[in-house]
Amino acid sequence: MERKVLLAPLDPVHDIGLKMIKRGLEESGLETRLLPPDTPPEEIIRIALDEKFNTLLLSRTLGYGVAELLARFVDLADAAGLRENVKIGIGGMAIRPELAAELGFDAGFGPGTTVEEAVAFVEGREYNPEETIIKKEKTDFTAPYKYTYGNQTMGNLLDKVSQQIISWVGNKTSPGVERAKLREELWDYQSFLKMQENQEFLKKYPELCDQVPKDYYLQGKIHPKTRELTKEELENYQSFITEIKERMKVKKLQHRRKAPVIWNQYGTGCPFMDIGHIKVSESWGADGVVHFDPSWGARTEGFLGGDLTHQEDGTVITPNNLARIYQSLEKSTLWQVRAHRGLNTPETVVLAGKIGADFTKINVCYGSLAAGTDPARLTVDGFYAIKYAAQYKMPFDIVTNEELTGVPAYKAFAGMLIMADLAIKLGARPILQPLFAYSPEMMIGGQMEDNYIDFNAAKIYALRSIIDAPIWPGAPIGFLTQTEDRVQSSMSTSLHALLATALGVDAISIASADEAYSGGPISVPSKIDTLRGVEESFRFLGNAGIKPTAKAEQWQKEIIDGIEGVLKQVAAKGDFVQSLYDGLLGTREEGAYPGRAGRNTVEEI
Amino acid sequence: MQTIIIGIAGTAKNTGKTTTTSSIMSEVKDNKKLSLGLTSIGYDGEDIDNVTGLPKPRIEVWPGVLVAVAEKCLKVSTAEVEVLEVTKFATPLGKVILGKVTKGGRLVVAGPNKSSELRQVLNKLRHHNLNLIIVDGALNRIAPMVEVDGLILTTGAARKSKISELAFETHCLVEVFNYPVLNIEHDTFRFNSILSSDAVDELLRQLETAGTVYINGVIGEKSLMYLLEKAEKLSGKKLIFPDPIKLMVIGDINKIHNIFAQLKHKGIEIGVRKPIKIIALTINPYYPKYRFNSDDYEVSYVDKEKLYEAIAGKVSVNVYNVVEEGGKMLFNDILNYKNNT
């Protein structure tokens, strides 16, 4: 049956929405007629009746008194007998199904209405939004990479350093490595869920811990900064998850390109609040979430247990907390548990791997030069952490946030590449994570006075020319360009996302607009600001590009030369750990201080 | 068993449709012998007004009440409903279902929103031998209420906050419902809706020759004004509309009443084929006051005594403020109306 659609803007001016729908309807083979704006209601109804249209689509911007105006139109149409044979739909920015029902229309089309939806309405087919529900799947964005070297000189130097690390680690161990081994051999996630933890594990584990975890396991004392969630809180927590999962819809931020994968971090200190944040991140389109743990946790030997919350940044890693968070995730959400910097690095990988994390984070250089862990200790622990990451098939990023202390990018990159090469040799899948920000070395030197593009682009170009490996700038992108002003902050993040996308990177970590400056908990609106901002930047860019100035190429070369120089020095020294102590990968003057946590805990077996 | 169908129609949003509906429902609930059906031509029972953002009254149902609501209403209601039938009538919130409340609670009510579908849904409800069916209104919409047996009209400060203007408008409105019933004769000329000046010219020609014209639909506001302008010799002529609601929907009721008064003055008789009875009027002093500075609304009231006196003095039907008086007397009016018909 031939279907004719009459489109009428009830608005004095606006008819763009109807014109777009008209185009879509015509492309679907339907006959349409668009009336000029502000045609009187009785004339619209007369034309619809006289010319035997099947469907009438109206549009109107909502405003004061408009609901009554639309209702009067519907009444007049009904009384004139138009509704016996003609379906009437209303579209507009503020239109929702509830409002369309209240106004008396057959359908309401709000923002984001698809042409298929309008066609289905015209053709009298039931519109099944299931068809358009975004189907997200987890992707391993490291899969396409071969980890081959484009710069063979660099490859050879890295090989030499990695071999040295492997032989140095040899038969060394640490309390962290031993706990990871115990966790690996005796702790089972399913038994934990059934509250049937291995007794041997519980007996041996406290012996490998600091006093605070020991007190927890042996005397039931909890960390003074923390408290257990109450029974009532846990019940609310459970019903919150159940209720929110029922109505949960995920969203995709990418526009034309598949990359980059968007990561958002959580770590409010409270696992309950974390889940709220995670659900917001998922709803507004983040592809992955990163578990952010407190810094004191990284300096404590051993994990606590229980449903712990505390009023500090970072959520305590306990099996309970991780398990609850894992269970709250949507199936499509990537989950990263960071292991990178402290005394629990290998055990974090094992625990996260057993519970179901997809990614982890390891970097010996950053952890020991900027996060306070002893270089020797973290080299041993990092080595085993990488092996477990390979075993649990968790790719990991190698963060270079030591740049934030003032370490030049080329030195941080040399350290990152050493870790990457070691990981490749141990069968893992490393991801390069250059800082993508207002680089402190540039800030001091003034080279980024003109723009934020050239140096960030130079970093990506440099890394690409060296190795075929995934790149995930962070963490977060735009760091040090953001201010306490939420608009500026999400704007800056969005522009960095735009640049990262133009450069074709695989993933990005984005912060909430208030994250860099929050004096308290990160707010949900600011998280949404950033995600929406990034979405808009993708829409803005599409498949277009950004052209850096000639500086980018010059800096790319300088970075490559710098990395090569550092690697030559480390290779010549023949001792990676000593290179860290001696400042080859970042000096004290540059702000890199070899950490002290876990000093003298490395033992020969 | 005879079923009576009552429509609750408002002159505007926030004139007290839901409160009136609830007050009648609470009387039905107290009277264990009565069975109730409920539907709506709009969307009712939400917490927050779709336009003003202010809190709204809710509709509470109890086990045994029969409802005709859109599928998606069930998901957002705390009441539990056993679905008896999924009808073919589609609304923006899914198909209308017929169901029986199995667990009491809050019900969001959105049902068939056009006359033809309301008629068919009401026929289905009738088969369940109910004593009373309430059709809850929406905004200022009234067209589908042609399907009910009697109307409760709600008006108040949300329509016009100036009491004298509101009283005059209410008077005009009740007057339109009091237009005489005129019979259609075999020589009555029939039109469908009159929606253009050409159609008015034709209408005048037919009035000239046939004398009586029946408009089986509506006349547009512009067309009506054109008719007034063109009409000269109308003495002894008759213009018949299907029902008073067809006159209500033309436009601003004061203006329409005034135009018809002028037409009548020219000698034409104006009436309806089927009367619709206003059983009672409820009034509401509440109105959402728009605040320009903050672009939002605040709760405001006009003087309830003055409002009552002004309206009651202008109309020939009972007037109630159900918030103050409860729904008992209003409910008695409904029972009396039922017994008399």
| Structure confidence at residue A64 (pLDDT) | 66
Same domain, B239 and B196: yes
Same domain, B90 and B213: no
| Structure confidence at residue B44 (pLDDT) | 77
| Structure confidence at residue B46 (pLDDT) | 67
Cα(A78)–Cα(B245) distance, rounded to whole angstroms?
11
pLDDT tens digits along B54-108: 777 789 999 999 999 999 999 889 999 999 999 999 998 999 999 999 999 999 9
Nearest-CA distance from A12 to chain B in Å?
18
Between residues B297 and A141, the one the model is more confident about = A141
Of the three residues B272, B296, B324, the one that is the final residue of a domain is B272
| Structure confidence at residue B272 (pLDDT) | 96
Q: Please report whether residue B182 resides in a domain.
A: no
| Interchain proximity A75–B143, CB inside 8 Å | yes
Q: Please report whether residue B104 resides in a domain.
A: yes
Confidence band, pLDDT 50/70/90 cuts, at residue A1? low
| Structure confidence at residue A69 (pLDDT) | 87
Same domain, B297 and B264: no
* A462, HSE (Cβ side, Cα atoms, 13 Å): 32
| Interchain proximity A42–B223, CB inside 8 Å | yes
Nearest-CA distance from A296 to chain B in Å?
45
Same domain, B199 and B312: no
Tell me what percent of the residues of chain B surpass a pLDDT of 90: 79
Mean predicted lDDT score pLDDT of chain A:
92
Distance spanning both ends of chain A, measured CA to CA: 84
| Structure confidence at residue A501 (pLDDT) | 97
The secondary structure of B129-154 as a DSSP string is --SEEEEE-BTTB-GGGGGSSEEEEE
Task: Look up tokens 């130097």; give the residue.
Answer: A157
Nearest-CA distance from A112 to chain B in Å?
16
Please say if the pLDDT value at position A55 is more than 60.
yes
Please say if the pLDDT value at position B51 is more than 70.
no
Confidence band, pLDDT 50/70/90 cuts, at residue A605? confident
Q: Please report whether residue B48 resides in a domain.
A: yes
Domain count, chain B: 2
Cα(A476)–Cα(A434) distance, rounded to whole angstroms?
10
Same domain, B232 and B317: no
Q: Please report whether residue B184 resides in a domain.
A: no
Same domain, B288 and B333: yes
pLDDT tens digits along A346-397: 999 999 999 999 999 999 999 999 888 999 999 999 999 999 999 999 999 9
Confidence band, pLDDT 50/70/90 cuts, at residue B156? very high
Same domain, B168 and B285: yes
Nearest-CA distance from A20 to chain B in Å?
21
Tokens of B77: 């209601």
Give the pLDDT mean for B11-27: 92
Same domain, B296 and B325: yes
How many CB pairs below 8 A link A and B? 130
Q: Which of B322, B339, B274 is nearest to B8 (CA)?
A: B322
Tell me what percent of the residues of chain A surpass a pLDDT of 90: 70
Q: Out of A125-129, A323-327, B42-46, B303-307, which region has the weakest mean confidence (pLDDT)? A: A125-129
| Interchain proximity B141–A62, CB inside 8 Å | no
| Structure confidence at residue A596 (pLDDT) | 94
In A102-173, DSSP assigns E strands to: 107-109, 172-173
| Interchain proximity A81–B251, CB inside 8 Å | no
Same domain, B53 and B105: yes
Cα(A68)–Cα(B287) distance, rounded to whole angstroms?
15
| Interchain proximity A76–B222, CB inside 8 Å | no
Confidence band, pLDDT 50/70/90 cuts, at residue A129? low
| Interchain proximity B143–A79, CB inside 8 Å | yes
Q: Please report whether residue B183 resides in a domain.
A: no
| Structure confidence at residue A521 (pLDDT) | 64
Of the three residues B222, B238, B272, the one that is the final residue of a domain is B272
Provide, as residue numbers in chain B, all residues whose Cβ is less than 8 Å from the Cβ of A40.
220, 222
Same domain, B220 and B289: no
Which stretch of DSSP H or E encloses residue B102? strand B94-103
Domains of chain A: 4-132 (3.40.50.280)
Give the pLDDT mean for A174-197: 95
Q: Please report whether residue B257 resides in a domain.
A: yes
Tokens of A598: 């876990």
| Structure confidence at residue A12 (pLDDT) | 73
Q: Give the sheet arrangement for strand A261-266, strand by strand.
A: A430-433, A396-399, A359-361, A334-338, A288-291, A261-266, A507-510
| Structure confidence at residue A576 (pLDDT) | 97
Confidence band, pLDDT 50/70/90 cuts, at residue B241? very high
Residue B290, domain CATH: 3.40.50.300
Which residue in B has a C-alpha nearest to residue A44's C-alpha? B195
| Alpha helix stretches (DSSP H) within A341-485 | 345-355, 364-369, 375-391, 409-425, 440-445, 453-466
Confidence band, pLDDT 50/70/90 cuts, at residue B1? low
| Structure confidence at residue A474 (pLDDT) | 84
Give the pLDDT mean for A92-118: 86
Provide, as residue numbers in chain B, all residues whose Cβ is less than 8 Å from the Cβ of A39.
none
Same domain, B172 and B194: no
Of the three residues B257, B272, B287, the one that is the final residue of a domain is B272
Radius of gyration for the alpha carbons in chain B, expressed in angstroms and rounded: 21
Cα(A30)–Cα(A119) distance, rounded to whole angstroms?
9
Q: Which of A579, A601, A603 is nearest to A592 (CA)?
A: A579
> Which of B141, B246, B296 would best serve as a mutation to test chain A binding (most A beta carbons within 10 A)?
B141
> Which of A74, A102, A117, A128 would best serve as a mutation to test chain B binding (most B beta carbons within 10 A)?
A102
| Interchain proximity A42–B221, CB inside 8 Å | yes
| Structure confidence at residue A131 (pLDDT) | 52
pLDDT tens digits along A504-520: 999 999 988 777 665 55
| Structure confidence at residue B318 (pLDDT) | 96
Domain that holds residue B73: 4-177+276-340
The answer to whether B10 faces chain A, any CB pair under 8 Å, is no
pLDDT tens digits along A19-28: 888 998 898 8
Which residue in A has a C-alpha nearest to residue B142's C-alpha? A75
Same domain, B57 and B132: yes
| Structure confidence at residue A518 (pLDDT) | 58
Q: Please report whether residue B217 resides in a domain.
A: yes
Confidence band, pLDDT 50/70/90 cuts, at residue B295? confident
A36 burial type by CB count under 10 A (0-12 exposed, 13-18 middle, 19+ buried): exposed
Q: Please report whether residue B89 resides in a domain.
A: yes
